[in-house]
Structure 1
């Protein structure tokens, strides 16, 4: 009898964006029943051991076609889309939130929206996929921050203030290789107010797309653990999106967590978005992250449905291949369980319950 897959909690996926782009409500059956492509659906989640994760709402820009295909060559500096209007950000954010809630309603209990770690553990105990609402790019929230309170009441528990394009809260890192993450100004006054409001509501602040100045401003303002949901090691892959050793030191000192990003452009030393990428480079990043963060600071943030990932991990059903590779590399069962599941739940509990 085959052994059960290792339960995994994933810090970042873009399944809601994929469903939104594929027709919204009409695409929900494909998520529940499988067979419509992409990286994540409910049947493949069960097959791969995905127990839960942060489901991102990302308000897209119209001018993003072919974006990832441009991450090639000896270097690149991709032009970023123009900022979204508040109306544009709210329209797509609320549409994806509706998809999220409608998946739960149609799932017959197999998909559970969770607002606490107790909810996550309870959902997993009954065999449900535990889903936490996250926003990547806060363009739906106006300067009065009223929408933050509304979204929090609806279940929002994690937010990345910016994606790579600028907004009223601050500046993200561009898609640039090679590049330091120190790419310009950080938070605005409104952004600093957003950080304080997230602390008040105990919403986790995701640093993965903030530039270095914004990172340090959050580190100074926030009383919560520092978290980068889907980022890698700049010393291995010098793309602007990855973290420097000094940033890792700050995350460790705060008791925070970093999720390994499967996006190949943030793994490979050449910065290319290329599925022909060996799992070995992922292990190299994990080794370095463990050295910098310790065993309690490392997790996964796959970026499934939002990036080109290594072909060996071409969808969520193949997650056991990563755990097998780590076991062969010398990682013990307890460490693998921490990376796969417990480190995320621990930092979420300390963030939401403090």
Structure 2
């Protein structure tokens, strides 16, 4: 079995909703559930050995638009969120991550050595990520606190604007150049992440924001869960020029399993073949090289191809990659080694 370290999932959001409904999030992850995509038993069955687990504040007002007769859609950006409620939710999700660690249901990792050790011991290697920084104050005091709690990766924005920058809408077809980039506070956030050793994720930022980070950050450029715009022209996918910059920086792009970002028609249809996933991997590997492509599933945050279904189905993708001709060394890079390399650089290891 090929072990996978995954660049993005929303399992903390699902577990937070379980907690708010009166359930036990630790038991749900440790013992397994038919809900969602990730828990410990399904992860072990599918070789999902760890990943970046997002603290994400949901936008209750966001309703995805239905495609028109041509399959086109454009969903207006979610409204900006207030700081204090966002901080409250982020702290609750961070607490769930810490409780899972204390219970031994997963291990919260702060180093690549820690990730490798957890994987060797068969324990899910979780890295705390923040997807959209609405819970971070303008003075960045909370960034220090979340770092102390284990935060080692963040995306300055989700698909909404905040005090640090501008996000891209959910739209097909659409250019990636959808608005302004980082704010002045956003530049300060990038510099603080560089100093602390927090990975900066560009998966939801505008193209202008991408280039703002590229000229400011000393880290490899990372788009944790984004695919090829040339194949599926949704606003969140990467242009060839962005891929070239990622390659030149020593960074990576993680294949997003979300069907809307895989299909040529951009539709939200689980009957999406594995061949669409392979098509995007082949394109990004050809453009950037095998060292700059990885996996970023978006489990528990999107519609996944039915041939994958959940974490237990990860080896179906691995098998398809083997059939496509990817060898053992290439599979190791795609599935985990590329992520471990860029995390090590971002974390000053």
- Matched with 1:125 is 120
Match of 1:105 in 2: 102
Partners in 1 of 2:181 and 2:206 — Cα distance? Answer: 6
Is 2:126 aligned against 1:147?
Answer: no
Residues 278-304 of structure 1 show CA distances to partners (whole Å, capped at 9, x for unaligned) of 000110000011011111101000000
Are residues 1:259 and 2:254 paired? yes
| Greater Cα shift, 306-315 or 78-87 | 78-87
2:210 & 2:275 partners in 1: Cα distance? 29
Contact 1:133 1:155 in 2 (8 A): yes
2:52–2:128 Cα contact (<8 Å) kept: yes
Residue 72 (structure 2) pairs with residue 75 (structure 1): yes
Q: What is the correspondence of 1:293-304 to structure 2 with a 5 Å cutoff? A: 293-304=288-299
Does the CA-based 8 Å contact 2:25-2:96 persist in structure 1?
no
- Does 2:26 correspond to 1:28? yes
SS, match of residue 312 in structure 1? coil
Asked whether the 8 Å contact 1:161–1:205 carries over to 2, the reply is yes
**1:313 offset after TM fit, Å?**
0.5
Quote the Cα distance in structure 2 between the aligned partners of 1:185 and 1:320. Answer: 39
2:312 matches 1:312: no
**How many angstroms apart in 1 are the aligned matches of 2:164 and 2:59?**
17
Gaps of 5+ in 1: none
1:37-96 Cα offsets, whole Å, 9 max, x none, are: 1100000000001111000110112223x53x7367521110222111111210111111
Pair 1:281 & 2:279 matched = no
CA distance in 2, matches of 1:88, 1:269: 38
- CA separation in 2, counterparts of 1:184 and 1:222? 20
Report the aligned-residue RMSD.
Answer: 1.3
How many Å separate the matches in 1 of 2:121 and 2:279? 35
d(CA) in 2 for partners of 1:77, 1:235: 18
**Equivalent residue of 1:259, what SS?**
strand
1:205 aligned onto 2:203: no
Question: Is 1:341 matched up with 2:339?
Answer: no
Q: How does 1:36-51 map to 2 (within 5 A)?
A: 36-51=34-49
CA distance in 2, matches of 1:46, 1:236: 32
SS where residue 132 of structure 1 aligns?
strand
User: Is residue 2:26 matched to residue 1:12?
Assistant: no
Tell me, in whole angstroms, the C-alpha distance in 2 between the residues paired with 1:118 and 1:71.
Answer: 45
Measured in 2, the distance between the counterparts of 1:16 and 1:206 equals: 18
Deviation at 1:27?
A: 2.9
More off after superposition, 25-34 vs 42-51: 25-34
Give the total of aligned pairs: 346
Match of residue 54, structure 1, among 52, 58, 76 = 52
Which segments of 5 or more consecutive residues in structure 2 lack a partner in the other structure?
none
Deviations 1:153-173 (A, max 9, x none): 111000000000000001011
1:89 and 2:86 are equivalent in the alignment: yes
Q: Does the 8 Å CA contact 2:77/2:168 hold for their aligned counterparts? A: no
What does 1:105-254 correspond to in 2, within 5 Å?
A: 105-107=102-104, 110-254=105-249
TM-score normalised per structure 2: 0.97
Question: 1:275, 1:308 within 8 Å by CA — same for their partners in 2?
Answer: yes
Q: Quick one: distance in 2 between partners of 1:232 and 1:323?
A: 18
Q: Secondary structure at the match of 2:291?
A: coil
1:130-159 Cα offsets, whole Å, 9 max, x none, are 100000000000110100011111110000
Normalising by structure 1, what TM-score? 0.95
Deviation at 1:106, TM superposition (A): 2.1
